[in-house]
A = this chain, B = another copy of it.
Amino acid sequence: MDKRTQIINTALSAFYQKGVHAVGINEILKGSGVAKKTLYNHFVSKDELICACLELRDQRFNQWLYEQLENCNTPFEVANALFGALSAWIDNEVSELGPFNGCFFINAAAEFPQSDHPIALLCKAHKESVLQLLFDKLSHTEQLKGQLEKSKQLAQLLMTLQEGMICQARVTHSSNTLLQDPMLLHQLIASSI
């Protein structure tokens, strides 16, 4: 494994678990067993390293979510798979996303309030890509084929519920089981179609 990857992997897990500001460069060096000069040879600054971590996380998360929704052919299946997957993540049953500590992007954005900061922009882009993924899935189901407006609405609703579920789990340290009730889910979807 090349040095760059080593650094990003170590940094990502540290940043995600402890927060970006709370983790210093030296801690990352120690964790990845790399010299300071090497790090600054690959990244011009800590901010750039953070951006690289966000990009990796974005890629991993989207990949994971894509796989979770792969075999869904109805809006209900999409919603059900989505909330099931999130719940598994929250309960630390998803090794590729690491121990649950909320949404890395929301956490990072909270530490960089300036809306035009590169880090804030990456967080925004991530959310847009997830929304797009949901939209694509929904708009290709039998029930919503061609109904772009409805697909958009339902994707937005699922997205909002997802964000809420993740944030609540983060703060209250407990998983919200409400959204795994098939009855409620069916009705939620029916209300949007």
Contacts and interface: CB of A to CB of B under 8 A. Distances in A.
B113 A173 contact: no
Interface in A173-193: 173, 176, 178-179, 184, 187-188, 190-192
Interface of A: 17-19, 21-22, 101-103, 105-107, 109-113, 115, 120, 123-124, 127-128, 153, 156-157, 159-165, 167-168, 170-173, 176, 178-179, 184, 187-188, 190-192
Number of copies: 2
27 contacts: A21-B21, A21-B111, A106-B106, A106-B171, A109-B170, A110-B110, A110-B111, A111-B111, A123-B171, A124-B171, A127-B171, A128-B172, A156-B176, A157-B184, A159-B164, A159-B168, A160-B161, A160-B165, A160-B168, A161-B161, A163-B163, A163-B164, A164-B164, A164-B167, A184-B191, A190-B191, A191-B191
A26 to B, nearest CB: 17
A110 B115 contact: no
Query: Counting chain B CB atoms within 10 Å of each CB, which of A106, A115, A190 scores highest?
Result: A106
Nearest to A162: B164
Contacts of A112: 19
Contacts of A163: 163-164, 167-168
Given A153-B178, A178-B153, A171 B111 contact: no
A102 B127 CA distance: 15
Contacts of A110: 19, 102, 106-107, 110-111, 170
Contacts of A159: 164, 168
A184 B157 CA distance: 10
A19 to B, nearest CB: 5
